[in-house]
Amino acid sequence: MATHSNSSFLLHLSLIITALCIAVSQPFIGVNYGQVADNLPSPEASVELLKSTTVGKVRLYGADPAIIKALANSGIGIVIGVANGDIPSLASHPDSATQWVNANVLPHYPESNITMIAVGNEIMGSGDDGLVSQLLPAMQNVQNALNSASLGGKIKVSTVHSMAVLTRSEPPSAGSFDPGLMDILQPLVAFLKNNESPFAINPYPFFAYRSDPRPETLAFCLFQPNSGRVDQVSGKIYSNMFDAQVDAVHSALSSMGFEEMEIVIAETGWPSRGDRNEAGASVENARAYNGNLIAHLRSMVGTPSMPAKSLDTFIFALYDEDLKPGPPSERAFGLFKTDLTMAYDNPPTSPYGPYTPERETQWCVPKVEVSEEELQRNIDYICGNLAIDCGAIQPGGVCYEPNTVLSHATFAMNLYYQNVGRNPWNCDFSQTAMLTSQNPSYSDCVYPGGST
């Protein structure tokens, strides 16, 4: 895989991809490569683009041989998909599954690193009872075909679910599946466990915000400083919607007796535009969600119910897809435009103006007019993150004195900024912070700083 210095990588991939700018691949960070468009770059150009990032996995919605072949010897893990329309034949005829594997897997593996086959997408929420009943038999037949080809332990078989499989997700500890689906879900999840395959889900905090468009909900959905939400049953504190949604799925699986089931995030993302009825669809929010999500995954902090773990997560999507039906936001999830330029490259509506990488050491400090209440909220958010060590401002720490909210907030906000990427949006804190070139260090209290 190609490597880049931080500076050239920032220049090449701009705002959102800066969250990926380290020299080794992130095996748990992937991207969805959709093809519902009439203006996509060639597979070869797309793969070169992917190789210039640190994305470790790609999910396809089908098994396009040109894309799978282009990914050969790239080191990128590949999830290929069985179309929903192919499920009936795969379920009814084992030979059809064998033919599918012979046509879509064997010609490419192992040069193309196919790691999983996703049989169908969001079938459980389709409302098609016939298709739902055929899902598990199709998965079983595909698994048997892989076993016959001696690939059963190497390529996993799963399916992808929407959050609609849950009837309850709040609080997260009370997450539960739709009782009407349990006759199908119970044997399906047992199949996954027996074959060591993951449960794949599509959580979208964007849709949660769209149904509850309050400022505090937006901050909660974008991984930005907020007062958090307490699960009144478990007592766990949630600082973002993503963790809450994932833990609701974990709770639902646990209630079925599958607490150790691996969860994969098959899709999540945020649109960069939408119509006036689609609250939150904007460049700024898309940049914040995807960038902060990647920082959260890289921190390895995990979720409150699954700490110290980073879930395999596929961001939706590589490109905008101009032929997708539905509201405008459906066509605006791309990290890249189809001309291979960055989707968020110096947007004219950005509150930060044109972005250029830092050339000097900078520190993140509170704005003068910010209240102590706002500063304390920032401290609580930052120091509640297990990936941030606030020991320096605890009693006995080198930066504890002066023991004021302002002093402690200044240290904590800068510590957060320096740790998660030194990007302008990491020194925002709901517009309570600013960047300065003046070092706020004093006595033995040294504020971390850095430059690209």
Same domain? For 323 and 370 the reply is no
Provide the residue range defining the domain that includes 227.
29-336
**C-beta separation of 39 from 338 below 8 A:** yes
Q: How far apart are CA 381 and CA 94, in angstroms?
A: 53
Q: Specify the amino acid at residue 360.
A: E
**C-beta separation of 165 from 181 below 8 A:** yes
Q: How far apart are CA 101 and CA 105, in angstroms?
A: 5
Token pair of 362 as six digits: 């900078």
**Annotated active-site positions, please?**
122, 267
Mean pLDDT value of segment 249-277: 96
Query: Which ranges of 198-332 would DSSP assign to H, the alpha helix?
Result: 205-211, 215-221, 241-255, 283-298
Cis peptide before 402 (omega within 30 of 0): yes
Same domain? For 86 and 234 the reply is yes
Share of the chain above pLDDT 70, in %: 89
Task: Check pLDDT > 90 for residue 361.
Answer: no
Same domain? For 141 and 265 the reply is yes
> Which pLDDT score, from 0 to 100, does residue 334 have?
96
Beta-bridged to residue 32, according to DSSP, are: 59
Residue with the bigger pLDDT between 289 and 54: it is 289
> Which pLDDT score, from 0 to 100, does residue 345 have?
52
**Distance of alpha carbon 254 from its chain centroid, rounded?**
22
> Which pLDDT score, from 0 to 100, does residue 386 have?
62
**C-beta separation of 281 from 332 below 8 A:** yes
Token pair of 284 as six digits: 């700024």
Q: Interior CA angle at 428 toward 21 and 330, to 5°?
A: 65
Task: Check pLDDT > 60 for residue 215.
Answer: yes
Q: Interior CA angle at 193 toward 190 and 195, to 5°?
A: 110
| Distance (Å) of CA 395 to CA 174, 282, 384, 399 | 37, 42, 16, 9
Beta-bridged to residue 114, according to DSSP, are: 78
DSSP one-letter string for 75-138: --EEEEEE-GGGHHHHHH-HHHHHHHHHHHTTTTTTTS-EEEEEEEESGGGS--HHHHHHHHHH
The closest of 63, 48, 57 to 76, measured between CA atoms, is 57
Quick check: is 346 in a domain? no
Q: Specify the amino acid at residue 173.
A: S
Task: Check pLDDT > 90 for residue 295.
Answer: no
> Which pLDDT score, from 0 to 100, does residue 349 have?
31
| Distance (Å) of CA 258 to CA 132, 151, 210, 269 | 21, 25, 31, 27
Unique residue bearing structure tokens 């607490």: 259
> Which pLDDT score, from 0 to 100, does residue 27 have?
67
> Which pLDDT score, from 0 to 100, does residue 450 have?
61
Number of domains in the chain: 2
> Which pLDDT score, from 0 to 100, does residue 5 have?
35
Chain length of the chain: 452
Same domain? For 35 and 82 the reply is yes
Mean pLDDT value of segment 194-211: 96
Same domain? For 321 and 392 the reply is no
Mean pLDDT value of segment 58-72: 98
Mean pLDDT value of segment 60-80: 97
**Distance of alpha carbon 342 from its chain centroid, rounded?**
18
State the chain's mean pLDDT as an integer. Answer: 88
> Which pLDDT score, from 0 to 100, does residue 22 have?
41
Quick check: is 151 in a domain? yes
Q: pLDDT class for 54, splitting at 50, 70, 90? A: confident
Same domain? For 149 and 258 the reply is yes
Q: pLDDT class for 25, splitting at 50, 70, 90? A: low
Q: How far apart are CA 10 and CA 255, in angstroms?
A: 44
Same domain? For 248 and 391 the reply is no
The closest of 205, 74, 94, 182 to 139, measured between CA atoms, is 94
Same domain? For 44 and 102 the reply is yes
Quick check: is 344 in a domain? no
Mean pLDDT value of segment 426-434: 83
Q: From its phi and psi, is residue 422 left (phi > 0), alpha (psi between -120 and 50) or beta?
A: left
Same domain? For 98 and 191 the reply is yes
Same domain? For 283 and 373 the reply is no
Q: Model confidence over 367-392: pLDDT tens digits?
A: 888 899 999 999 988 888 666 889 99
Same domain? For 163 and 119 the reply is yes
Token pair of 239 as six digits: 């600082």
Neighbours of 241 (CB within 10 A): 27
E strands, 240-387, where? Answer: 263-268, 313-315, 363-366
Share of the chain above pLDDT 90, in %: 67
Quick check: is 24 in a domain? no
**C-beta separation of 452 from 359 below 8 A:** yes
Q: For position 263, which CATH number holds? A: 3.20.20.80
Same domain? For 389 and 328 the reply is no
